[in-house]
Amino acid sequence: MLKLSRLTDYGVVVLARMGAAPSLRQSAPELAHRTGLAEPTVAKVLKILAGAGLVEGVRGARGGYVLARPLDAIPLSDVITAFDGPIALTACVEGGGGGCGSEEHCPVRGRWDPVNHAIRQALSGITVADLAMPAPIAFIPEADLRLAAE
């Protein structure tokens, strides 16, 4: 199973929350409160996002973080790469060497490259804005709809 790290998931959550007010400088404590995540976790996520150029940090009393570009210009692949490194299903990827003990005898060596490329392409076609959009009503559990109506 292909599974992303928890920090990658949190990165998308933080970016989506920031996208609700894209020009507003937001601090780690504010974002922690708005996302329900622990403040140290949000601070770590923001540091990684800043290192990847997805958010910009502003120092000082009125400091905080702002999006480096709109959510619809941030592909999911950029977020995944920032937290989890290169996107690949296997250790034997283009230009990678020494990731497998059976590398020199492997009958499928290099054959995963088209698969890895297709996955990277698919994830590049989905933006954080696509994930930040409200869920269609068909996907909202009935109990949540009743609570919203009350």
CATH number, domain containing residue 145: 1.10.10.10
- Residues spanned by the domain of 68: 6-149
**Conformational region of residue 110, where left means phi above 0, alpha means psi within -120 to 50, and beta covers everything else:** left
Provide the total of helices (H) and of strands (E) in the chain, helices listed first.
7, 2
Is residue 128 in a domain?
Answer: yes
pLDDT band at 87 (very low <50, low <70, confident <90, very high): confident
- How many domains, the chain? 1
Query: Cα separation of 46 and 28, whole Å?
Result: 7
pTM: 0.79
Provide the mean pLDDT of the chain. Answer: 84
pLDDT in tens, 91-101: 665 555 556 66
pLDDT band at 108 (very low <50, low <70, confident <90, very high): confident
Is residue 13 in a domain?
Answer: yes
Encoded tokens for 93: 């990827």
Is residue 120 in a domain?
Answer: yes
Residue 79: Cβ within 10 Å count: 26
Is residue 1 in a domain?
Answer: no
pLDDT at 5 over 50: yes
- Closest by Cα among 13, 23, 6 to 70: 23
pLDDT band at 3 (very low <50, low <70, confident <90, very high): confident
pLDDT in tens, 11-66: 999 999 999 888 889 999 999 999 999 999 999 999 999 999 999 998 888 889 99
Q: What is the pLDDT of residue 114?
A: 85
